[in-house]
Structure 1
Amino acid sequence: MRNRSRTIRTVPGLAEAGLLNAQKAAEVEAVAHRYAISVTPAMQELISHRPDDPIAAQFVPSVLELAATPEESPDPIGDARFTPVPGITHRYRDRVLLKPLHLCPVYCRFCFRREMVGPGQGLLGESELAAALDYIRSHPEIWEVILTGGDPLMLSARRLERIVGELDRIPHVGVVRIHTRVPVVAPELVTADLRQALRTDTPVWIVVHCNHRQELGPKARGALADLADGGFPLLSQTVLLKGVNDSVEALEELFRELVRLRVKPYYLHQGDLAPGTGHFRTSVAAGQELVRRLRGPVSGLCQPTYVLDIPGGHGKVPIAAGYLERDELGYLVIDPQGVVHRYGPAAAEADFPPAAQA
Structure 2
Amino acid sequence: MTVHQPPGGQPLRSVSALIDAGVVAPERRASLEAVAGRYAVSVTPAMAALIDPANAADPIARQFIPDPAELVTLPQEIADPIGDEAHSPVEGVVHRYPDRALLKLVHACPVYCRFCFRREMVGPGGEALTGDRLDAALAYLAEHKEIWEVIMTGGDPLILSARRVHEIARRLAAIPHIKVARWHTRVPIVDPGRITVDYARALRVPGKASYIAIHANHPREFTDEARAALARLADAGHVLISQSVLLKGVNADVATLSALMRAFVENRVKPYYLHHPDLAPGTARFRLSLEEGQALVKSLRGHLSGLCQPTYILDIPGGAGKIPVGPAFLSACGAPGAEAFAEDRHGEQHRYPPG
**TM over 0.5, shorter chain:** yes
CA-atom RMSD, angstroms?
A: 1.1
TM-score (normalizing by structure 2): 0.95
Which one of 93, 112, 122 corresponds to residue 107 of structure 1? 112
Q: Which residue number corresponds to residue 181 of structure 1?
A: 186
Q: List per-residue Cα deviations over 1:176-201 (Å, max 9, x = no partner).
A: 01100000001111123312212322
Which one of 331, 334, 338 corresponds to residue 340 of structure 2? 331
Unaligned runs of 5+ in 2: none
Establish whether residue 75 from structure 1 lines up as the match of residue 80 from structure 2.
yes
2:64 counterpart letter in structure 1: F
CA distance in 2, matches of 1:196, 1:239: 28
Which one of 7, 11, 15 corresponds to residue 15 of structure 2? 11
1:4, 1:44 within 8 Å by CA — same for their partners in 2? no
2:30 counterpart letter in structure 1: A
**CA offset at residue 23 of structure 1?**
2.7
Q: Give the 5 Å matches for 1:12-161.
A: 12-49=16-53, 50-161=55-166
Q: Give the 5 Å matches for 1:187-206.
A: 187-199=192-204, 200-206=206-212
Q: 1:5 to 1:284 in 2, by over 3 A?
A: same
**CA offset at residue 83 of structure 1?**
0.2
**CA offset at residue 45 of structure 1?**
1.6
Q: Across the two proteins, how many residue pairs are aligned to each other?
A: 346
Q: In terms of Rg, which structure is larger?
A: 1
Establish whether residue 311 from structure 1 lines up as the match of residue 317 from structure 2.
yes
1:4, 1:45 within 8 Å by CA — same for their partners in 2? no
CA distance in 1, matches of 2:70, 2:11: 21
**CA offset at residue 32 of structure 1?**
0.3
CA distance in 1, matches of 2:201, 2:339: 55
CA distance in 2, matches of 1:48, 1:228: 31
TM-score (normalizing by structure 1): 0.95
Which one of 265, 271, 276 corresponds to residue 277 of structure 2? 271
1:4, 1:41 within 8 Å by CA — same for their partners in 2? no
**CA offset at residue 331 of structure 1?**
1.3
Q: Give the 5 Å matches for 1:178-327.
A: 178-199=183-204, 200-326=206-332, 327=334
1:46, 1:217 within 8 Å by CA — same for their partners in 2? no
SS at match of 1:113: coil
> Which range moves more in the overlay, 200-209 or 240-249?
200-209
SS at match of 2:126: coil
**CA offset at residue 20 of structure 1?**
1.7
SS at match of 2:7: coil
CA distance in 1, matches of 2:307, 2:42: 33
SS at match of 1:34: coil
4+ runs deviating over 6 angstroms: none
Identity of aligned residues (%): 54
**CA offset at residue 4 of structure 1?**
6.0
